[in-house]
């Protein structure tokens, strides 16, 4: 299609008329946004159809990426970029007196995810489309996405994210492709021709209606699909006229209980929540997704035995792990295959990514819950486990201890990570360090028996969104220096390295950063009426609030710095702006107290005349994809300070780096590989190593109270939590206080304090040497190409999916 200015203008005007019977003059920003988005969506339809036909009727293997979260953010500008029409569209609108950048603000974020895991899924589907890999997302269409955060009086307040209140432009409802998902009921066994058949009866049926979103590849004709499932009542079971008066209430109850399944995203990150409704959600989108895959596959008219040649299913963490028994169910009960045949196919189809080693994040379900909600699925899991244990005992000479350690079902629980490992042909961690920890600690028994299953694929981010879209001035600078081929081949960014010592280029890099800081300053001024010094160091920690991510360590350093400045306002501290942005899970009290602490410290410091504006602390509310896009280009220091071994990869670290920030971090997750990429001189590393942390957990030897008593700086800061220093009640931060001293500081905040303070002093020194800092910044950008999700996806395609 030829997208010239005139065509876009004409289509846009027609769109306004047909949607709202309005012309450009009358239309509100919202209407103009919808009218334009509708036009852009239509532009993708032809290629979407062609892509789908190609996938079905030519012999191409399909990848289905199952994820309970897709944190998409806004789509209009990304779609314009990927279609290659951002500039022409901007001009066309301008000629009608419309500012594209302003229209873009009308789009609500699609916030169907908590954080890193959901954003990874979004980056991956962008990369699959852009690499023309036949890869699709499969997930849940939550009516309410991740909550909106307001800060009231320093506290987090959660506001529902009613993102579907107005129409969502990018989705297409496909009622004709709805499927049925069954819950509850009982099993009946029967011998049929000498074969044991299992019948599932007495169940409740839920209709799964797919909503498809086109995923547009960059600079190619590929348009893949993100399919999100909506739970709806079955007409037949909700036919009010046929119910007697007593059944009327039941019918309404049925409708609401069904709709509840896709009502809300659970707002917990790195934390497993043992909730019945969550299990329902997981099976709901898994069952609908697998059924839909089988239906599509059958259009090829190939024998079902060939499924693995044409289909790869990837599970993003264990939330979709019921894919394994669900596929078994379909192959055995519906396709009439034997157990052995079905198992052979299933394990060839499914692959699994592990995202965490944290105990509290590992999914386990009570046997009773699984059995009552999903009787057939449970019976299959039992059989998978029975056969697996027999195999282990057989192979390892009756090693019952080993068999016991590996059992998928144990102590009345089903261990979803174990089910995922056993039922997949590939298990991968998300950074080198994380994969090593999986192999040597968390899944070491599985690694011992099936070493070839284990692989590493380090996470990545789409450079199209996280650089091309959000940092146009930097992009211009890069293009002028090395041309624009890096957009197709991000590793070419490495060519920037030769400009790292070029003083002219350094100046330009500094100017771009300054300009981006100014933009963020304006945003902050507008919302919070706080004045920020543009020459101060922008030191940012933006990510979920979790104890292991150690925002607390960051705040303690700020409190310490403030104490020093109070003692002597003239000490030579380079001006700094500490920026935080983070949501806490609504039930996570410790995390919420840390938010209150940040805001309390912020209030006190920002209003203290004595310290002469040397430091400022800002908390930006409602962290999400769109806010991240504002923050990254302006950041200079990237705080990646998790307790070593806890952050499986991190992807925020990559976004900051790609926009020229210097990482201040522990040797955790992908920080290790960032260090490897940029070299020791272009990153600031501090703190305990993962082996040391794991050793403390195993053998003890750390006592936080001793540190508190021996280090005056620490004692002062910790005491200020409860002694009225911040003019709040002595109980306000009690949970933090107990966490550190009574429960022995699980995440080594006090232990790493000294090392962190020293690292911050190094940052202070480095920043004063403008040449050195700019050189570091350029090297970070230059080395960021390998963290493009295109790289991760190529590796998945080659080594795991075989596409
Ligand atoms: C990238 C991203 C994350 C993940 O950040 P980490 O620092 O890796 O934890 C979380 N939320 C949003 C909105 C993101 O864009």
DSSP character string of 11-79:
HHHHHHHHHHS--TTT--HHHHHHHHHHHHHHHHHHHHHHHHHHHHHTT--EEEEE-S-EEEE--HHHH
What per-residue confidence (pLDDT) applies to 59?
87
Residue 609 appears among annotated catalytic residues: no
Mutate to test the pocket of ligand 1, among 114, 116, 149, 625 (most ligand atoms within 8 A of CB): 116
Residue 655 appears among annotated catalytic residues: yes
Placement of tokens 């955060």 in the chain: 149
Residue 355 appears among annotated catalytic residues: yes
Residue 794 appears among annotated catalytic residues: no
What per-residue confidence (pLDDT) applies to 463?
98
Q: Take atom 5 of ligand 1 and give the residue whose Cα is closest.
A: 652
- Cross-strand partners of 139: 228
Instruction: Quote the CATH superfamily of domain 464-688+748-787.
Output: Glycogen Phosphorylase B; (3.40.50.2000)
Residue 205 appears among annotated catalytic residues: no
> What is the SS3 assignment for 650?
coil
Q: How far is the CA of 590 from the centre of ligand 1 (A)?
A: 20
What per-residue confidence (pLDDT) applies to 1?
57
10-residue mean pLDDT profile of the chain (803 residues): values are 87 98 97 98 97 93 98 98 97 98 97 98 98 98 98 98 97 98 97 90 97 98 98 75 68 93 96 96 98 97 97 98 98 97 98 96 97 98 98 97 98 98 98 98 97 98 98 98 98 98 98 98 98 98 98 98 96 98 98 98 96 93 98 98 98 98 98 98 98 98 98 98 96 98 98 98 98 98 98 98 97
Fold classification of 59-74+109-459+794-800 is: Rossmann fold (3.40.50)
Percent helix, strand, coil in the chain (nearest 5)?
Answer: 55, 15, 30
From the candidates 655, 739, 751, 786, which is the catalytic residue?
655
The DSSP symbol for 241 reads G
Distance (Å) of CA 152 to CA 174, 524, 627, 704:
41, 16, 19, 33
Q: Quick check: 138 and 285 in contact, CB under 8 A? A: yes
What whole-number distance in Å separates Cα of residue 601 and Cα of residue 170?
Answer: 42
Residues lining ligand 1, judged by CB closer than 6 Å?
Answer: 115-116, 119, 543-544, 623-625, 628, 650-652, 655
What whole-number distance in Å separates Cα of residue 267 and Cα of residue 69?
Answer: 11
Q: How far is the CA of 244 from the centre of ligand 1 (A)?
A: 52
Q: Take atom 8 of ligand 1 and give the residue whose Cα is closest.
A: 650
Q: Could you tell me the pTM of the whole model?
A: 0.98
What per-residue confidence (pLDDT) applies to 248?
83
Residue 549 appears among annotated catalytic residues: yes
Phi, psi of 429 (to 5 degrees): -90, 175
Placement of tokens 């949501």 in the chain: 583
Residues 6+ apart with CB under 8 A from 586: 147, 158, 267
What per-residue confidence (pLDDT) applies to 239?
55
Q: Report the 3 state secondary structure along 381-427.
A: HHHHHHHHHHHHHHHCCCCHHHHHHHCCEECCEEEHHHHHHHCCCCE
> What is the SS3 assignment for 579?
strand
């Amino acid at each position: 299609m030829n997208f010239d200015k005139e065509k876009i203008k004409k289509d846009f005007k027609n769109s306004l008329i047909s949607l709202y019977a309005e012309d450009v003059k009358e239309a509100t920003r919202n209407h103009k946004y919808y009218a334009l988005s509708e036009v852009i969506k239509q532009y993708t339809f032809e290629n979407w159809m062609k892509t789908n036909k190609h996938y079905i009727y030519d012999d191409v293997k399909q990848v289905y990426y199952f994820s309970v979260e897709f944190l998409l953010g806004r789509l209009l500008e990304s779609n314009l970029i990927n279609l290659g029409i951002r500039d022409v569209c901007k001009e066309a609108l301008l000629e009608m007196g419309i500012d594209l950048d302003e229209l873009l603000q009308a789009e609500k974020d699609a916030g169907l995810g908590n954080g890193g895991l959901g954003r990874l899924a979004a980056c991956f589907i962008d990369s699959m489309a852009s690499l023309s890999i036949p890869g699709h997302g499969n997930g849940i269409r939550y009516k309410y996405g991740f909550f909106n955060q307001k800060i009231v009086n320093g506290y987090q307040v959660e506001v529902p994210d009613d993102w579907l209140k107005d129409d969502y432009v990018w989705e297409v409802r496909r009622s004709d492709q709805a499927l049925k998902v069954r819950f509850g009921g009982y099993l009946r066994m029967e011998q049929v021709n000498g074969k044991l058949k299992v019948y599932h009866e007495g169940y409740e049926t839920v209709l799964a209606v797919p909503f498809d979103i086109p995923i547009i590849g960059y600079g190619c004709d590929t348009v893949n699909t993100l399919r999100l499932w909506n739970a709806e009542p079955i007409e037949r079971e909700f036919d009010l006229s046929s119910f007697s008066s007593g059944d009327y209430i039941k019918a309404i109850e049925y409708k609401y209980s069904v709709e509840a399944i896709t009502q809300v995203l659970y707002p917990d990150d790195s934390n497993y929540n043992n909730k019945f409704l969550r299990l329902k959600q997981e099976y709901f989108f898994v069952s609908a997704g697998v059924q839909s895959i089988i239906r599509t596959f059958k259009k090829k008219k190939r024998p079902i035995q060939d499924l693995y040649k044409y289909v790869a299913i990837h599970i993003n963490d264990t939330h979709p792990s019921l894919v394994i028994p669900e596929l078994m169910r379909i192959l055995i009960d519906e396709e009439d295959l034997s157990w052995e045949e079905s198992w052979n196919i299933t394990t060839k189809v499914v692959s699994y990514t592990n995202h965490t080693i944290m105990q509290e994040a590992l999914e386990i379900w009570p046997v009773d819950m699984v059995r009552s909600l999903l009787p057939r699925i449970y019976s299959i899991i039992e059989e998978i486990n029975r056969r697996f244990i027999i195999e282990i005992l057989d192979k390892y000479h009756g090693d019952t201890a080993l068999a016991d350690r590996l059992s998928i079902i144990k102590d009345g629980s089903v261990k979803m990570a174990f089910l995922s490992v056993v039922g997949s042909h590939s298990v991968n961690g998300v950074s080198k360090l994380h994969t090593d920890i999986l192999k040597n600690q968390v899944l070491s028994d599985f690694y011992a028996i099936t070493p070839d299953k284990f692989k590493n694929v380090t996470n990545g981010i789409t450079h199209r969104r996280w650089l091309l879209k959000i940092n146009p001035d930097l992009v211009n600078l890069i293009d002028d220096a090395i041309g624009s081929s890096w957009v197709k081949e991000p590793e070419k960014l490495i060519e920037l390295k030769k400009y790292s010592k070029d003083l002219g280029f350094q100046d330009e890099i500094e100017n771009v950063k300054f300009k981006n800081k100014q933009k963020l300053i304006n945003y902050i001024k507008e919302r919070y009426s706080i004045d920020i010094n543009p020459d101060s160091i922008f030191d940012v920690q933006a990510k979920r609030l979790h104890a292991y991510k150690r925002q607390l360590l960051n705040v303690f350093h700020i409190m310490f710095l403030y104490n020093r400045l109070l003692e002597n306002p003239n000490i030579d501290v380079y001006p700094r702006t500490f920026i935080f942005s983070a949501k806490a899970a609504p039930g996570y009290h410790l995390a919420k107290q840390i938010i209150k602490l940040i805001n309390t410290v912020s209030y006190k410091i920002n209003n203290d005349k004595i310290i002469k504006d040397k430091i400022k602390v800002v908390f930006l509310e409602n962290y999400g994809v769109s806010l991240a896009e504002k923050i990254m280009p302006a950041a200079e220091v990237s705080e990646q300070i998790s307790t070593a071994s806890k952050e499986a990869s991190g992807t925020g670290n990559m976004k900051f780096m790609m926009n020229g920030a210097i990482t201040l971090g522990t040797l955790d997750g992908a920080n290790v590989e960032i260090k490897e990429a940029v070299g020791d001189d272009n990153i600031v590393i501090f703190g305990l190593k993962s082996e040391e942390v794991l050793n403390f957990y195993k053998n003890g030897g750390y006592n936080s109270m001793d540190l508190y008593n021996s280090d005056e700086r620490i004692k002062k800061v910790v005491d200020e939590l409860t002694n009225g220093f911040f003019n709040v009640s002595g109980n306000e931060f009690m949970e933090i206080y107990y966490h550190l001293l009574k429960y022995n500081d699980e995440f080594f905040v006090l232990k790493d304090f000294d090392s962190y303070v020293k690292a911050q002093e190094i940052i202070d020194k480095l920043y004063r040497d403008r040449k050195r800092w700019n050189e570091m910044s350029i090297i970070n950008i230059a080395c960021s190409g390998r963290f493009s999700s295109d790289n991760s996806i190529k590796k998945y395609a080659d080594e795991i999916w075989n596409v």
